[in-house]
Amino acid sequence: MEENNTQNSSLVTIRNLSFAREQRVIFDNASLDIQHGKITAIMGPSGSGKTTLLKLIGGQLSPSQGSIVVDGQHINQLNRSELYALRKKMGMLFQSGALLTDINVFDNVAYPIREHTALPESIIRTLVLMKLQAVGLRGARLLYPNELSGGMARRVALARAIALDPMMVMYDEPFTGQDPISMGVLVKLIKTLNDSVGLTSIIVSHDVEETAAIADYIYIMSSGKIIGQGTPQELQQSKSEWVQQFMNGKPDGPVKFHYSSDNYFDDL
């Protein structure tokens, strides 16, 4: 009964997920839930498969085992048109921004609206300017992606991700490579958007402090498994060595500093 309740309030339900690339196991029987209207963070060391998880949720990759249910639909059982219909309700912020480089900021944000609606240009203009105002870049609408700083590009990508008013936005490493001011702006934007528009947010990140400041729930991943989960406060008090090493940034612990190798002295 309790499990049913959990599933009903979940927008994304992942059960027994396994995924491998060639010989390398990325996920090994992982299960997690993303709650409606909450900010859920997926955290873990680099290379732990966090971005892959977003691609699996978005249907860009298929799991070798297990199920991914998004908004009540099994993502890997959908045909192309059903998958595309579902993706219109998802926004994704790529680490690089993934803006189309041959069109300007305005046209980038207008792109999904023009592709999926038959709205007149005057309404599209109003919608785009509203989205750009929300990320503080209305004045930069005529700039091209190569004229934007990294932080600005990510904010434009965020405006594009919310252009169709999605139910959920996935953020792939939104804070990586940002200066403190841009990072602060992005943290505030993600939180404000989530709370004011009623979005469900999934943040994939390894920036502990910024992510923990806005996340409602955190999953910590390592070696394809969920090694810890809970609210930021619960995780800070966790007794798990894995969780403590990650949350406090300790250089050595269950995740070794040294890559697996032969005896040092034998090797010299």
Partner 1 sequence: MITFLSTIGHSVIATLTKTGRGALFLKQTLSYTFSVLCQPRLISKQLFSVGVLTILIITISGLFVGMVLGLQGYYILSDFGAEETLGVMIAASLVRELGPVVSALLFAGRAGSSLTAEIGLMKATEQLSGMEMMAVDPIQRIVCPRFLAGCLSMPLLAAIFSMVGILGGQLVGVSLLGVDEGAFWSQMQSSIDFYDDILNGVIKSVVFGFVVTWISLFEGYDAIPTSEGVSRATTRTVVYSSFAILGMDFILTALMFGDI
> Which among 205, 195, 88, 212 is positioned nearest to 154, based on CA atoms?
205
Find the shortest distance in angstroms from Cβ 97 to partner 1: 8
**Based on CB atoms, which residue is closest to partner 1, 9 or 96?**
96
Nearest approach, Cβ of 122 to partner 1 (angstroms)? 20
Q: Which is nearer to partner 1, 44 or 112 (CB)?
A: 112
Element containing residue 108 per DSSP (H, E): helix 105-116
Of the pair 97, 228, the CB lying nearest partner 1 is at: 97
Nearer residue to partner 1 within complex by CB, 199 or 235? 199
**CB within 8 A of 235, min separation 6: which ones?**
212, 218, 220, 228, 229, 243, 247
Handedness of CA 132, 134, 137, 139 (dihedral sign): positive
DSSP conformation class of 259: P
Of 63 and 145, which has the nearer Cβ to partner 1?
145
Give whichever of 61 and 255 is closer to partner 1, judged by the CB atom.
61
Nearest to 72 by CA among 176, 173, 168: 168
Q: Give residues in contact with partner 1 (CB under 8 A).
A: 55, 58, 60, 84-85, 87-88, 90-92, 94-96, 98-101, 111-112, 115-116, 157, 160
What residues contact residue 87 under an 8 Å CB cut-off, 6+ apart?
58, 59
DSSP track, 14-46: EEEEEEEETTEEEEEEEEEEEETT-EEEEE-ST
CB of 67 to partner 1, least distance (A): 21
R_g of the chain, CA atoms, integer Å: 20
Cβ 109 to partner 1 shortest distance, Å: 11
Closest among 109, 104, 96 to 144, alpha carbons compared: 104
**Token pair 């249907």 is at which residue?**
59
Q: Minimum Å distance from CB 99 to partner 1?
A: 8
What tokens were used for 114? 């023009």
Give the separation between CA 98 and CA 91, rounded to whole angstroms.
12
Least Å from the CB of residue 88 to partner 1: 5
Closest separation in Å from C-beta 42 to partner 1? 17
Q: Which is nearer to partner 1, 170 or 215 (CB)?
A: 170
